[in-house]
Amino acid sequence: MPESQQKKRKKKRVKTNEAIAPLNEKQAQYLNSLSTTNCVVAIGPAGTGKTFLACSHAATMLATGRTEKIILTRPTIGVANRSLGYLPGGLAQKMGPWARPLVDAFKRILGSSQVDNLIAKKVIEVGSLEHMRGLTFDDSVMIIDEAQNATTIELKAFLTRIGMRSNVIVCGDISQSDLPGTNGLSLVVTAVNKKLVDDAELIEFDHSDVVRSKLCAQWAAAFDKLQT
């Protein structure tokens, strides 16, 4: 975290299961950006480690007392284009299917019982984009995943929640947007490229950076080739 964003915080008793090391040069660049930049936008194909490394960085910041809270969110597109209000249960139950990849990443890094405890204490908080207006997140690491499925209005609502001493990580793959027309992530990438925001950096992964599996990389490349 940059010095301008640092302050003394009460250290939390959080332990990580393993130290995360980069698997390639682009991941090393990404981890460096996460450590030195307050706003990082990571785009590229599935399986490159964008989300996992974002969660690993947030977990490390929490474990070392450099942040007090982690905010997780994803667009909720996919259920017949309906909003969360149409789904049964409370907000936590409604967000469950979309939040699972993020929560699973934290469970791998911190362990299931510890993550469940942190969620119960709202140290790790899963939020809906639909319910973020009016909120301010200070001393937090904010992560939005699958940002290519967020509208411009939703991403504006998310990015304008950033409070004092907070970091934000935006992850997505523009080529996998399920939205008709332009998505909010494309606008965010343009803003960063035009340097309209200070202390923001763009990391672009490609198929050569896929680490999930060789077959994953081949399928991602095949779809992109056939769709162009």
pLDDT at 224 over 70: yes
CB 118 within 8 A of CB 124: yes
Instruction: Encode pLDDT of 63-90 as tens digits.
Output: 999 999 999 999 876 533 444 454 445 5
Read off the pLDDT of each residue in 143-158 and give the average, rounded to a whole number: 94
Computed from CA positions of residues 91, 128, 72, 205, in that sequence, does the dihedral angle turn out positive or negative? positive
Higher pLDDT, 38 or 82: 38
The pLDDT-based confidence of 144 (bands split at 50, 70, 90) is: very high
Query: Can you give the pLDDT at residue 120?
Result: 92
The pLDDT-based confidence of 95 (bands split at 50, 70, 90) is: low
CA distances from 13 to 62, 63, 166, 211 (A): 9, 7, 20, 31
Q: Please give the sequence-ordered ranges of beta strands (E in DSSP) within 55-212, or none if there are none.
A: 69-73, 124-126, 140-144, 167-172, 200-204
pLDDT at 60 over 70: yes
Amino acid at 219: W
CATH class, 23-227 region: alpha beta
The pLDDT-based confidence of 226 (bands split at 50, 70, 90) is: confident
